[in-house]
Structure 1
């Protein structure tokens, strides 16, 4: 009898391997990643009598210190290590032994996990929308829905990037971790439905950003195993790279004796809470590169004394450089989802198909979450209020008590509510913006952040137009064949409006005010928030922090908009791109870069 391979079997074998591997080496990942170690193993800080320029410290100095081992930090570190010594600091742990990170079928669990050791750190914006930030080596590539698609040529121009070097950088990423998705019948139905309602042409499978309907790449392989940015570190020069996990950067150190403050090192704490200092070498061109994400990077600049003078002085943070614009212009692409009840079991899928419209919205789909009867799927599925996908409660009413009550009530929901999927609508380039500021000087605490969803009238109008387009999509024969379920099951679903907060399409889509209210009440995030360190305001076009030397920021905090339908490909590319650009500037093209 032929063996039927199931993802659950792979998980079991994977965990058995990890269990048997532990104890054979100091860390079970040592064979493939010998340069990764715990932060507590780092040499202790210099004695008070030593200075950052002393010989004893200089022996431990690095050409580059990268703060944040995520979507940008990993490819950047791997590239720079080819010729220079690199220290990569990551505040989280490794993703290798975490099946909730490693496998598509568990995607929803990490996002709903609010424990201190989770790969994601939960936060709530002042708008009331629940959100998450990565806290693991590999960053967002360990948490996201895996969709991989390049940005448009216009996006590249707006980012002021060299198109030739951009196109050289993508294949290095794609050849290592990107795949063609295993296309499902539901995703095919959505694709055909999008074409029916005029989202054309059919662009087939492509990484390119093209108006119409397309199928994009994914970082999940054919077995549903996630391929993260960590795997790009296999291309590093292991002799020149040190990666420290559970290394939480607390502030950047500066030498303020010159005309401009000059970054010289980083203070970070390890998993035990003990503090360490890491320093840059004296070599010309050495620098610190902050890649801590759209929340983490502006937060670290502020903690280090770069930001609005008044705000820093309130928290007794010594001012290194006054810049009113650090933390300003924060933006998040609002998403609204519509619940689609199925008349059959449909396999679990994340984003595969996307409709790139000319009205400023992207239409995507997911399916099959929470169909298992086990407790994990039931209480942390894609249908859970923990990550907001079913919440019709207005954001300000999504309190912890309300969510706990929802989780309790969900235990009694019938099976039919979990046999479903979603149509997702995301605004491409919202004009509504907010800001980020420090709550306190504890780097472990989330900063205060607002996004002011739909505060700009054009954003609200685009959402209305998008919901009306989704209504047309749901009427397509390709989708109606999947729904609704039988009459009895559908009536059960209709009676769940109080308990389940099911987002059906609004009843009166011809009433603009009604649809506007739907947009506001059901808004959630798609985790593509950005801004806070904008080019021309906080950093230069080469991402160098204005007003200081030897410090850059390179991540989504520099974006004024989220490139492409999903920023993952752009961020991965930028890590490789900037690594190559720096190598060429320092070594010349003759060095092979």
Structure 2
């Protein structure tokens, strides 16, 4: 769809942590420190939140950008839950993206004017009548065309009627296919690991071993807390219909460090407060995470008579890496995606500790008062004692799923380590950039939508600078 995954995501507006970007610059990417990228977050944002704009972090936000951002307050819906996390030693923050990130907060969403602010709605719709813009829908890009000097001169595409044509470029070709499709296109075009391209019977134009490598994601596991029959959440499914002008379910987000002396988070939690007999457990279990029917029946059954806190506990900085491979040289064949979860065993240990740390909230007065308990409904771990490290490792290995944050497969980095340089130019080629999540060198401390929009804003300026156009 137009707008890519921003047309189907959960709309959370999370920028990540200052340290994420400072680390990018420390690793050789000049111009990518927090102080360098903050103006681009501000540039795109059109924040509509009186509370945040009256807070000490107001100067971190923009109010005139294309991207509408709002913050539902959910009065009476999640206060008791937040009080429990406060009692458990966590800060309750006004601004998820403020100077302080560690803590729990009501998040902001890319929603405004009762409309999902996908990149299509936010950025394309206002300029759709520009004479120099043309969008071809239902058109598949098959490969990049190069001249004898490895300059990108155009792309080969398949039109909706099946006709294959070449579209030529006067200056540059820019790939924005995302962490899966951008490396696929490079490899289909002969830019990728030599041995793999030869196995696919693709002519090797440039041996680029890092294309498709460095795949990172945010592995997450669902944790269901049963708050009993008398919890104070008053949310009912009817509100799914009446709240379509904002994120329709009461929700809050947390960023937590296991080492309490550090300033950046190790894990993120995103919690939905669900009332009795809601359709949400069934939808989340079977349609979002796609677990098997037996697991979902257990979640639905417990939710018929109890209030629930449906939470995802997400490992933010995995050391494990995956890879994207071609399945064939057919552009219409899906790639092979190896997510690589827990190939570094320290990730499994840290994810287990994150789940255990999160569940300490059950020891608070607020949670004990309602006799809240963690609920699980899988048989695979029945040989382990509940709530032991071995049990949670088993649970994680059986329940881990994606948060749909793949990045890094055409990563920025020094030549020899990255696929693109700090201005998104593909090493070994001319006139070719990759500007999307695949260029993210190391995954950030939170949802990736806002950081990728920031990268696009910065990439646009890099192109202007290259052609002597003044930037504002």
- With the length of structure 2 as denominator, give the TM-score of the two structures: 0.79
1:133-148 → structure 2 map (5 Å cutoff)? 136-148=1-13
Cα distance change, pair 467–407 in 1 and its aligned pair in 2 (3 A):
closer
Match of 2:188 in 1: 303
> How far is the alpha carbon of 1:372 from its aligned partner?
5.7
Match of 1:280 in 2: 169
Match of 2:152 in 1: 263
The answer to whether the 8 Å contact 2:276/2:303 transfers is: no
The answer to whether the 8 Å contact 1:181/1:222 transfers is: no
Deviations 1:265-323 (A, max 9, x none): 01111223222221101xxxx21111111111111111111111121122221111011
- Rounded to whole Å, the distance in 2 between the matches of 1:350 and 1:357 is 24
Q: Work out which of the residue numbers 315, 325, 330 in structure 2 matches 1:437.
A: 325
Deviations 1:28-87 (A, max 9, x none): xxxxxxxxxxxxxxxxxxxxxxxxxxxxxxxxxxxxxxxxxxxxxxxxxxxxxxxxxxxx
Cα distance change, pair 480–412 in 1 and its aligned pair in 2 (3 A):
closer
> How far is the alpha carbon of 1:216 from its aligned partner?
2.9
Structure 2: which 5+ runs fail to align?
47-65, 237-247, 260-265
The answer to whether the 8 Å contact 1:309/1:319 transfers is: yes
> How far is the alpha carbon of 1:512 from its aligned partner?
2.0
Match of 2:140 in 1: 248
Cα distance change, pair 216–484 in 1 and its aligned pair in 2 (3 A):
closer
Q: Work out which of the residue numbers 42, 51, 55 in structure 2 matches 1:171.
A: 42
Structure 1: which 5+ runs fail to align?
1-135, 392-402
SS at match of 1:178: strand
Match of 1:67 in 2: none
Deviations 1:477-500 (A, max 9, x none): 445567659xxxx9xx88xx47xx
SS at match of 1:365: strand
Q: Work out which of the residue numbers 409, 418, 441 in structure 2 matches 1:532.
A: 409
The answer to whether the 8 Å contact 1:194/1:355 transfers is: no
Cα distance change, pair 263–340 in 1 and its aligned pair in 2 (3 A):
same
SS at match of 2:359: helix
Q: Work out which of the residue numbers 379, 383, 401 in structure 1 matches 2:285.
A: 383
Cα distance change, pair 503–469 in 1 and its aligned pair in 2 (3 A):
farther
Deviations 1:104-139 (A, max 9, x none): xxxxxxxxxxxxxxxxxxxxxxxxxxxxxxxx1111
1:560 is the counterpart of 2:445: no
The answer to whether the 8 Å contact 1:199/1:355 transfers is: no
The answer to whether the 8 Å contact 2:424/2:459 transfers is: no
Cα distance change, pair 573–262 in 1 and its aligned pair in 2 (3 A):
same
Match of 2:240 in 1: none
SS at match of 2:136: strand
Match of 1:212 in 2: 103
The answer to whether the 8 Å contact 1:206/1:214 transfers is: yes
Cα distance change, pair 477–228 in 1 and its aligned pair in 2 (3 A):
farther
1:362 is the counterpart of 2:362: no
Q: Work out which of the residue numbers 279, 303, 309 in structure 2 matches 1:421.
A: 309
Match of 2:450 in 1: 569
Match of 2:55 in 1: none
- Rounded to whole Å, the distance in 1 between the matches of 2:444 and 2:345 is 22
Cα distance change, pair 221–188 in 1 and its aligned pair in 2 (3 A):
farther
> How far is the alpha carbon of 1:455 from its aligned partner?
2.2
Cα distance change, pair 250–415 in 1 and its aligned pair in 2 (3 A):
same
The answer to whether the 8 Å contact 1:189/1:478 transfers is: yes
Deviations 1:157-194 (A, max 9, x none): 23432655523322332113333321224443343332
1:290 is the counterpart of 2:175: yes
Cα distance change, pair 340–228 in 1 and its aligned pair in 2 (3 A):
same
- Rounded to whole Å, the distance in 1 between the matches of 2:172 and 2:275 is 44
- Rounded to whole Å, the distance in 2 between the matches of 1:316 and 1:279 is 25
Match of 2:224 in 1: 339
- Rounded to whole Å, the distance in 2 between the matches of 1:196 and 1:203 is 14
Q: Tell me whether 349-358 or 543-552 shows the greater mean CA deviation.
A: 349-358
Cα distance change, pair 425–412 in 1 and its aligned pair in 2 (3 A):
closer
> How far is the alpha carbon of 1:572 from its aligned partner?
0.9
- Rounded to whole Å, the distance in 2 between the matches of 1:456 and 1:438 is 24
> How far is the alpha carbon of 1:378 from its aligned partner?
8.4
- Rounded to whole Å, the distance in 1 between the matches of 2:455 and 2:274 is 33
Q: Work out which of the residue numbers 508, 513, 535 in structure 1 matches 2:386.
A: 508
SS at match of 2:209: coil
- Rounded to whole Å, the distance in 2 between the matches of 1:567 and 1:272 is 35
Cα distance change, pair 409–428 in 1 and its aligned pair in 2 (3 A):
closer
The answer to whether the 8 Å contact 1:545/1:552 transfers is: yes
Match of 1:98 in 2: none
Match of 1:542 in 2: 423
SS at match of 1:363: strand
- Rounded to whole Å, the distance in 2 between the matches of 1:411 and 1:471 is 18
- Rounded to whole Å, the distance in 1 between the matches of 2:85 and 2:394 is 25
Cα distance change, pair 325–153 in 1 and its aligned pair in 2 (3 A):
same
The answer to whether the 8 Å contact 1:339/1:422 transfers is: yes
Match of 1:349 in 2: 249
> How far is the alpha carbon of 1:577 from its aligned partner?
1.6
Matched residue count: 417
Cα distance change, pair 226–371 in 1 and its aligned pair in 2 (3 A):
farther
SS at match of 1:543: coil
The answer to whether the 8 Å contact 1:187/1:365 transfers is: no
The answer to whether the 8 Å contact 1:255/1:262 transfers is: yes
SS at match of 1:519: helix
- Rounded to whole Å, the distance in 2 between the matches of 1:417 and 1:330 is 41
Deviations 1:213-233 (A, max 9, x none): 33331113475x422111212
For the aligned residues, what is the CA RMSD? 3.3
- Rounded to whole Å, the distance in 2 between the matches of 1:171 and 1:458 is 36
> How far is the alpha carbon of 1:437 from its aligned partner?
0.6
